[in-house]
Structure 1
């Protein structure tokens, strides 16, 4: 990371940081994409089981990883304020915290998997796949959380290409593991959708191991000597990280979990409907990795400028990222409209599933516009460390506006299952609008506060 003084310099630095993050996010989501596609090839029941399992796992994992994202603005602001000496201890305490949270999620999950699945109206085969998919993926929670914490550290230094290389190396391995465990190759029994969970867990262990080695041995990370001077866990440092991380994690959880809640509500519909919904949401979420990557980039560059008290420069970065997000929304919308049927056939070739999937994709065109606008706003506000108001807005927009309106439309109009997708559009749009006004207010306040030095 370094100061920039012209728009061209900012655009160059923004691109240098964004492109590796984008490739990393697309590659990471590609793992989930191939889990879903390859499970669908094993059968509609396996696809539905992975859909239910993912709907329970993804909001939890992304919410916890949202807490770990606190390290990015903390490190970025320390670098902007020329306080790099404080970075290593923040990383060490973050590792402690990530392990603790992984253990808590694992223990709680073991007690709640059966009760949650039992209250859902699922076919026995779908319930069985969902349960053991979750158990399989759960064996990789600890390395996953450690990797995500360390990735935040690497990215905040501006070294986003490192995490990109790690994920690019692991993606082919994940596909190979899926092939072996889903379809039963090389003497391994065919596990169907359950094999996707096992494959993901093994991949998490692989990427964590590589990351630990790079940080310990490779320049410039080795200069910080992260693993050579351990101290006892520091409650005060944990609290500092959690003050930023918990609201961030819950904001992300509220957004992601509304999609999972919709999937759970759809358990009353046919297995084909669940499978089609999962296929459509999976591909739309794959496209969402672009605005989400913009958000992660904005957290780093805005955080760096705010740490250096260059508030006007932070504002330029913010609107640069938001504009790019809006442009991406039009590109994504065209892709979804033009290639709906080919996309649907990637997941399942059953004619009924294909038709239902294309119908769901039509609605995805509209809610991804709100996502492409809202995600950069969230990333910008994280860079400012302004997370508490965002948390409240997310709760209201997604869970008090979006989900109830979807339920009403699904149960009291002819839209039925598609009503939930209308609810997604309403909730995401409300969230994006409120976050935009919050950003304008915050920028005006900080410009006034630091006007003597800007």
Structure 2
């Protein structure tokens, strides 16, 4: 990364950071996409089992993994401030913290998973698939959280093409493993949806090992001496990272868990409804990779400019990212409007699932605008290390407004299952408004 003096230069640097992040995000999400699609080709029960398992795992992995994302603004600001010598210590402590969190997740999951699944009243086959899918995922948790820290370090240096290449390398590994383990190829047993969990766990380890190898071998990373010495564990540094990481992680958890809770509440409906909801939610999440990638790029660039004390440049990057995000949201909405049937048939061949998924995909149209506003603002605020209000806004909009509204419409009105989607749309809109207000406050503070 380097200082930019004009708007065209900023657009170019934003795109140089953004495009590899977008490719990497889509590639990483494609693993979940292929898990879902390939499990759906095995059977509707496998699709529903993976859907329930994912609805439990995704908010946990995203939320706790979000704590590791604290490394990005920390390192980005150190780079901007030209304090290169402090980076190795920060990254090492991030790794220690990630491994501690992963152990905690595995321990809590071992104690509570059966009880959670029992409360959901699932069909026996769907419950069994969900349980074994999550058990398989557990073996990859330490590797995934380790990779989150290593990726945050690499991205903060502006080397987003490296994480893009890592993701591109890992995707064919994941798809091949899915093919072998879900359908029982090359002499392996057919595991159905459970095979998708095994494939994901192995892929997580591949991600971590590839990233670790590159950091150790490439000269551009070796100069930071991340593994040049063994640092002792620092509780003080953990507290500093948690001060930034916990609000980020909680905000991500609050946002993703609301979608997971809706998926769990959908278990009160039949298997076709669960499968159709998962189809629509999975594809709308794929489209969300665009504003999410812009958010990640803004965290890096805004953090870099804030660390260097160039607050006008940080503000300009923020507005450029928001404008780009809204424009892309319009394109994504058109895609959903024109090709909803084709999208649904990617996931299932059952007519009932396809028809219901098309209805849910129409609601996903309205997700796009709110996400296009909220996600870039979140990224910019993280670049400023302003994270607490983001968490509070997410909690209020999703849990105190969106979920109750959705539950009421789904349970006490003729709308039924789509009522949950309307509640999510309301939550996203409220979140976008709240974050916009906070962003203006932060801008005024730095302008003064």
Q: Distance in 2 between matches of 1:389 and 1:205?
A: 34
Counterpart position of 2:435: 435
Which whole-Å CA distance do the structure 2 matches of 1:339 and 1:282 have between them? 15
Rounded to whole Å, the distance in 1 between the matches of 2:445 and 2:152 is 28
Q: Give the structure 1 partner of residue 149 of structure 2.
A: 149
CA distance in 2, matches of 1:372, 1:139: 35
SS in 2 for 1:410: helix
Q: Matched residues in 1 for 2:102 and 2:221: separation?
A: 24
Q: Deviations over 1:347-395 (max 9, x none)?
A: 0010000000000000001022211211111101101100011111110
Aligned to 1:445: 445
**In 2, Cα distance between equivalents of 1:200 and 1:401:** 34
**Is residue 78 from structure 1 mapped to residue 78 from structure 2 by the alignment?**
yes
CA distance in 2, matches of 1:443, 1:127: 49
Residue deviations 1:136-164, cap 9 Å, x none?
Answer: 11110001110111000000000000011
Residues 82-114 of structure 1 show CA distances to partners (whole Å, capped at 9, x for unaligned) of 111101110011010110001100111111110
Equivalence map 1:228-243=2 (5 Å): 228-243=228-243
Residue 247 of structure 2 corresponds to which residue in structure 1? 247
2:9 is matched with 9
Q: What SS is found at the alignment partner of 2:230?
A: coil
Distance in 2 (alpha carbons) for counterparts of 1:94 and 1:2: 25
Q: SS state of the match for residue 2, structure 2? A: coil
1:390-446 C-alpha deviation (Å, 9 max, x unpaired): 111110011101111101111122110000000000001100110001000110011
Hey, what's the Cα distance between the residues in 2 that align with 1:402 and 1:16? Answer: 36
Task: Give ranges in structure 2 of 5+ residues lacking alignment.
Answer: none
**8 A contact 2:373–2:432 mirrored in 1:** yes
Aligned to 1:159: 159
Aligned to 1:284: 284
Q: Give the deviation of 1:30 after TM superposition.
A: 0.2
1:38-77 map, 5 Å: 38-77=38-77
Per the alignment, residue 383 of structure 2 pairs with 383
Q: Distance in 1 between matches of 2:368 and 2:200?
A: 26
Using the alignment, how far apart are the partners of 1:110 and 1:334 within structure 2? 44
Q: Which residue in 2 is equivalent to 1:452?
A: none
Write out per-residue CA displacement over residues 234-256 of structure 1, whole angstroms, 9 at most, x where no aligned residue.
01111111000000000011111
- List gaps (5 residues or longer) in structure 1: 449-454
Alignment of 1:425 onto 2:425? yes
Runs of 4+ with deviation above 4 angstroms: none
Aligned partners of 2:372, 2:102: CA distance in 1, in Å? Answer: 30
Counterpart in 1 of 2:37? 37
Match of 2:122 in 1: 122
1:108 and 2:108 matched: yes
Asked if the contact 2:87–2:226 (Cα under 8 Å) also holds between the matched residues in 1, the reply is no
* Residue equivalent to 1:175: 175
Distance apart, 1:228 and its partner CA: 2.1
Equivalence for 1:220: 220
> Is 1:198 aligned to 2:206, yes or no?
no
- CA distance in structure 1 between the partners assigned to 2:323 and 2:300 by the alignment: 17
**RMSD of the alignment, in Å?**
0.6
Please report the TM-score for the alignment, with normalisation by the length of structure 2.
Answer: 0.99
SS of residue matched to 2:429:
helix
Residue in structure 1 matched with residue 140 of structure 2 by the alignment: 140
Structure-1 separation of matches of 2:389 and 2:376: 16
Using the alignment, how far apart are the partners of 1:368 and 1:323 within structure 2? 14
The alignment of Structure 1 onto Structure 2 pairs a total of residues equal to: 448
Cα separation, 1, equivalents of 2:205 and 2:48: 26
Task: Give the SS at the match of 1:220.
Answer: helix
Correspondence for 1:358: 358
How far does residue 224 in structure 1 lie from its aligned partner after superposition? Answer: 1.3
What residue in structure 2 maps to residue 414 of structure 1? 414
